[in-house]
A and B are shown apart, each in its own frame.
Chain A
Amino acid sequence: MNDTMESRPELPTDPRWKPERTVLILAAVVQILLIGSAIWYSETSPATPIDTTRRLVPEVIVPEDVVFRDTEIAARKGREIPPVDVRQAATPSPEALNEGTRLYSEHCRLCHGPGGRGDGPAGTTLKPPPRDLTRLSGWRNGTRLSGIFRSLTLGIPSTSMPAFDYLTHQQRFAISHFVRSLAAGHEQDTDTSLASLDKEFSLSQGAREPSVIPVSTALERVLAESSGEPEYRALTGNDSPTASLLESLEEPDGRSRLNRILSSDTTWHQDIERFRNLICLDPAAAGVKPRVRFLSDEEWQKLHALLRELLVE
């Protein structure tokens, strides 16, 4: 390598050429281009204004209960809600405070912190931050017991505070009492405010929450009922070879599908080829195993007769 390098014939021959100058000019050009383009780009590109109302995730998809609130409430089993004596529940008692302490620690402490200062570990990144329950200004529903009860029941929209409507009324009162014990100087409830709370959540009436199902489920049921599909009769008691053939062909829970296919059409009653096509076109949709395609003509005849007997006659 040394030899070849040394025998290199044309090193720069022009004595006026100075590598330093070329490098300096090159460097200056590159710097001007890079710095200039950075300044030009940041000047011309539209600045994104800090808009606190702009959300990372469109509100419409969180949470799902909101989206389908009108029609798609989650299925829920009904329950009795016993009546509450509002006046008594609104009076603090050692039992309620004890219960409230326990419930607070389970449901609230995570965000609001052990002392209620809004410094719980899960609350550190919330926006807005969890309320400091020891400071009494700016409470969305006020600092009365009824206001706290309302916040617990409904949650606070557009914050991280969820609704604790799955707790019983008594439990919500207990938590409210505990929250009030964290500081002094809360507003006191009046008879009218308690009465309006009572009315809003029908506390002293008690209630019976009926079982609910989503509208889509209800629609499916209504459709199934009104289509008047005849379920084909159970095969019990029928121990003919054809009946056991049919049973061996059925997919688990395939019977309703076969039933639906066969009752949506009457042309197969007299036409065995039509019957065969209905099932063989898509055995899975008809609720039977694919090997149905390999039955003999004789077996098809028997099957046709059996299903006619079960569904038509």
Chain B
Amino acid sequence: MDFPIFQADFFGNRFLIALIAIVHVIINHSFAVGLMPTLTFFEWWAHRTGREDWDRLLYRILAVAFVVTTSVGALTGVGIWFSTSVVNPAAIGSLLRVFYWAWFSEWVVFVCEVVLILAYFLTWKRMTGARKTTHIRIGIALSVMSWLTMAIITAILGFMMNPGSWPQHLDLLAGFLNPAYIPQLFFRTTAAMAMAGSLALALAVLFTGRKTDLRSESVRHFAGWTLFWIVPLTLWSLVYYQAIPAEMMTNLPVAFGTQAWAVHYGLLLKFTLAVALISLGVNVWALVRPRSAWSFIWVVPFLSICLLIAQFERTRQFIRKPYVLAYYMFSNGVRIDEAPYLAKTGLLANSAWTINRTVSPDNRTEAGREVFLLACSRCHTINGANSIRTNLSRLYPGQTWSEEAIEGYVKNIHGARPYMPPFPGTAAERKALASYLAALQTKSDRIASNASIPRN
């Protein structure tokens, strides 16, 4: 509790991160990690078979990827670390201590990737003839570097779900090779390949003429490329599914479909499966009848696979709740080890940026507001996404909660909702929080983004 509170009270902090992160994952996987080897492979193939029309098509697809990855891709990549650092500095600080050299290597690899994509794109038209082989080698190096950036970050993502033997060894390698790492790395690699195939399919439609041979040939080839990765992708996602810690599985319905939709988990699962099957069907259709369909249908696989990967990211992010770093730190930044100490000595007194240090009869509601900021606001807003006011009224339709009822509920919050962390303060602070939440039902409150006021 060493940092001031940043609060995006309309969007919600989680949504802010999710928006940036999901856009980044889609761009990273489909436009970079997957697309670079895809283009390199087809470039090699076009070169060996002497297909210049293919070479031109691939260059155009690369042009799109070049612009998207170096602008939105790079910005959202850095944006993830900016947004997570302001929302939960304690969590990012902890990760930095474990993964310092990994992050450093990431930076080096990323710079190499940028240099290589510049070289790959800008020399495409110049390195022809005898130099084409060298150009293909640049493509291979670029593919390796793109993959490495993902391979490093995946270790950190896996660590957040299950740190494995790190608590015993406390070294980088133990954290890097966490139980979720290898399955997730293979899952993401194969998913990236399939995504790139679908993306190339969608872009090929844009860059080829209707009813041309190049159109039907590219549709068939890129769909074939996507289908090629489907079986390994399915197998590795099953392996990954098994690597999720068993005790987190109770979170799955909520993780998959949010609290509001958790009761319809079965329905959502069927819907997701349907999306996957439609995508599969369109790809098979492309193989069999590359000429006989409307153009826009070839965009469907990419859209559906983006939807699926976004759904996967949401589930992965949520399923480790109540932790932000599994078995180490709760979502609100409270370390599991310090929780008993805070319960004894108080959350307010141990936080650097609070005005009310203890709870007294005069400041109960004000202190409760600060307890809310410290203990709840990483995930909840007052008026926006995942609003605490709406959550309260939804639980108790048409009535207001009494302070005692809220207090009793908060006391037992982890038992009632396994993905909620246990309340991290003293009984007096819990009562203060209840007083604030009870007041919120009738009064409005606004939380500025720089919610904690500096003390003099």
Residues of chain A contacted by B405 (CB below 8 angstroms) = 106-107, 110
**B322 and A1 within 8 A (CB):** no
**What does the 1/0 interface line of A55-67 toward B look like (CB < 8 Å)?**
1111011111101
**B422 and A74 within 8 A (CB):** no
CB-nearest residue of chain B to A22: B48
**A50 and B48 within 8 A (CB):** no
**B408 and A107 within 8 A (CB):** yes
Using known A-B contacts A38-B186, A48-B242, determine if residue A68 contacts B235 with beta carbons closer than 8 Å. no
Give the distance to chain B from A70, nearest Cβ to Cβ, in Å.
12
- Is A261 part of the contact surface with B, judged by Cβ < 8 Å? no
A159 to B415, CA, bound (A): 7
A63 to B409, CA, bound (A): 12
**A54 and B130 within 8 A (CB):** no
Residues of chain B contacted by A95 (CB below 8 angstroms) = none
Stretch at the interface among A117-125, A142-150, A202-210, A297-305: A117-125
Give the distance to chain B from A220, nearest Cβ to Cβ, in Å.
12
Chain B, interface SS category: helix
Residues of chain A contacted by B254 (CB below 8 angstroms) = 125
- Is B281 part of the contact surface with A, judged by Cβ < 8 Å? no
Residues of chain B contacted by A54 (CB below 8 angstroms) = 246-247
CB-nearest residue of chain B to A50: B246
**What does the 1/0 interface line of B203-236 toward A look like (CB < 8 Å)?**
0000000000000000000000000100110011
Give the distance to chain A from B117, nearest Cβ to Cβ, in Å.
20
A54 to B245, CA, bound (A): 10
A237 to B396, CA, bound (A): 60
Give the distance to chain B from A169, nearest Cβ to Cβ, in Å.
16
**A74 and B427 within 8 A (CB):** yes
Using known A-B contacts A42-B238, A50-B246, determine if residue A1 contacts B56 with beta carbons closer than 8 Å. yes
- Is A37 part of the contact surface with B, judged by Cβ < 8 Å? yes
Number of B interface residues in the complex (CB < 8 A): 66
A39 to B404, CA, bound (A): 54
Stretch at the interface among B105-113, B294-302, B338-346: B338-346
**A60 and B418 within 8 A (CB):** no
**B322 and A56 within 8 A (CB):** yes
Residue of A19, A37, A216 near B45 (CB, 8 A) is A19
Using known A-B contacts A74-B428, A125-B417, A160-B415, determine if residue A47 contacts B343 with beta carbons closer than 8 Å. no
Stretch at the interface among A3-11, A177-185, A193-201: A3-11
- Is B366 part of the contact surface with A, judged by Cβ < 8 Å? no
Residue of A67, A72, A122, A216 near B409 (CB, 8 A) is A122
Q: Which of B221-270 contact A (CB under 8 A)?
A: 228, 231-232, 235-236, 238-239, 242-243, 245-250, 253-254, 262-263
Residues of chain A contacted by B414 (CB below 8 angstroms) = 57, 62-63
CB-nearest residue of chain B to A123: B416
- Is B290 part of the contact surface with A, judged by Cβ < 8 Å? no
**A34 and B186 within 8 A (CB):** yes
**A65 and B183 within 8 A (CB):** no
Residues of chain A contacted by B48 (CB below 8 angstroms) = 11-12, 17, 19, 22
A126 to B417, CA, bound (A): 7
A45 to B186, CA, bound (A): 15
Q: Which of B130, B412, B422 has the most CB of A within 10 A?
A: B412
Using known A-B contacts A1-B56, A7-B129, A124-B262, determine if residue A34 contacts B190 with beta carbons closer than 8 Å. yes
**B128 and A4 within 8 A (CB):** yes
CB-nearest residue of chain A to B189: A34
- Is B411 part of the contact surface with A, judged by Cβ < 8 Å? yes
A216 to B396, CA, bound (A): 38
- Is B423 part of the contact surface with A, judged by Cβ < 8 Å? yes
A64 to B254, CA, bound (A): 26
Q: Which of A92-150 contact B (CB under 8 A)?
A: 105-107, 110-111, 121-122, 124-127
Using known A-B contacts A2-B52, A4-B128, A61-B343, determine if residue A74 contacts B336 with beta carbons closer than 8 Å. no
Give the distance to chain A from B57, nearest Cβ to Cβ, in Å.
12
Q: Which of B40-83 contact A (CB under 8 A)?
A: 45, 48-50, 52, 55-56
- Is B132 part of the contact surface with A, judged by Cβ < 8 Å? yes
Residues of chain A contacted by B404 (CB below 8 angstroms) = 107, 166
**B395 and A64 within 8 A (CB):** no
* 9 contacting pairs across A/B (C-beta < 8 A): A4-B129, A23-B45, A38-B238, A42-B239, A56-B250, A56-B418, A105-B399, A110-B405, A121-B397
The residues of A with any CB-CB pair to B shorter than 8 Å are 1-2, 4-12, 17, 19, 22-23, 27, 31, 34-35, 37-39, 41-42, 45, 47-51, 54-58, 60-65, 67-68, 72, 74-75, 105-107, 110-111, 121-122, 124-127, 159-160, 162, 164, 166, 216
The residues of B with any CB-CB pair to A shorter than 8 Å are 45, 48-50, 52, 55-56, 125, 128-130, 132, 179, 182-183, 186, 190, 228, 231-232, 235-236, 238-239, 242-243, 245-250, 253-254, 262-263, 322, 336, 339-340, 343-344, 394-397, 399, 402, 404-405, 408-409, 411-412, 414-418, 421-423, 425-428
Q: Kindly list 19 other residue pairs between chains A and B, CB separation below 8 angstroms, not including A42-B242, A48-B245, A65-B411.
A: A1-B128, A8-B50, A34-B186, A38-B186, A38-B235, A41-B183, A61-B340, A62-B414, A64-B425, A64-B426, A67-B340, A72-B344, A111-B416, A121-B396, A121-B397, A125-B254, A126-B415, A160-B415, A162-B412
